[in-house]
Amino acid sequence: MNATPSPLHRTRRNARDVRRVQYAANVREAVGEIDHGCEIYGLARGQYSLIDIVEHILGYTGPAALVISTWTAAGADIDYALRLCQDQRILDIQWLVDSSFQTRQPAYCAAMRERFGDAAIRVTENHAKFVLIGNDAWSVVLRTSMNLNENRRLESFEISDDPELYGYLRSVVQALFDDSGTTVGQSRQQGRRDFETASRAIPRADRVRYLR
């Protein structure tokens, strides 16, 4: 069996709103309104960060549960996420980070553990950057080339309110947490094994292939 989840191909595609805003001054100008069923693609050149986009989306969705999958994170952005939790704009948060984070950025990793606790963090060999923002009314997926740090370079982002895509990614993350996957401090090899186990645990009915 393939160790990774089956690819997701959507049968229908919403009209994509390509916002040519790589020189926009701020995230509000760049991203604009978030609508139900939206499909937004844009480029940035460091004027705003991933956490700025998250906060902007929360302004439309209202308080929501978050999953943040990132290769690395900076202390300022970790603290920003904590403030959003304290303001109750983030109701719950889970982190999926690369297993090398704890050795590459030990201070930032320690900050994440201190602020959110080991139960909210899972590690694996991870280079997938995405954020899930969900509540009873919204299922927003933010896919991006950005990590949770300063991004002074050309970066892309895609924002979709899509319950099927949200559910697909949510099932991968939840399987890692439900199986008590690899916690901070465990090995890269264990992280790989836990991801493979979690991937196999996704029911076939949820491994949706949307073919167009």
Q: What is the pLDDT of residues 188-205, one digit of tens each?
A: 455 455 545 544 554 444
Do 195 and 124 contact (CB within 8 A), yes or no?
yes
Longest dimension (CA), the chain: 47
Report the distance separating Cα 132 and Cα 141, nearest Å. 5
pLDDT (average), residues 100-113: 91
The top-scoring range by mean pLDDT among 32-36, 45-49, 70-74, 130-134 is 130-134
Q: Which CATH class is domain 17-206?
A: alpha beta
pLDDT at 42 (0 to 100) = 87
Lowest mean pLDDT among 9-18, 65-74, 93-102: 9-18
Q: What is the pLDDT of residues 70-105, one digit of tens each?
A: 999 999 999 999 999 999 999 999 999 998 898 899
Report the distance separating Cα 74 and Cα 81, nearest Å. 11
Element (H, E) at 28: helix 27-31
For the chain, domain boundaries:
17-206
Report the distance separating Cα 69 and Cα 88, nearest Å. 20
Label residue 183 by pLDDT band (50, 70, 90): low
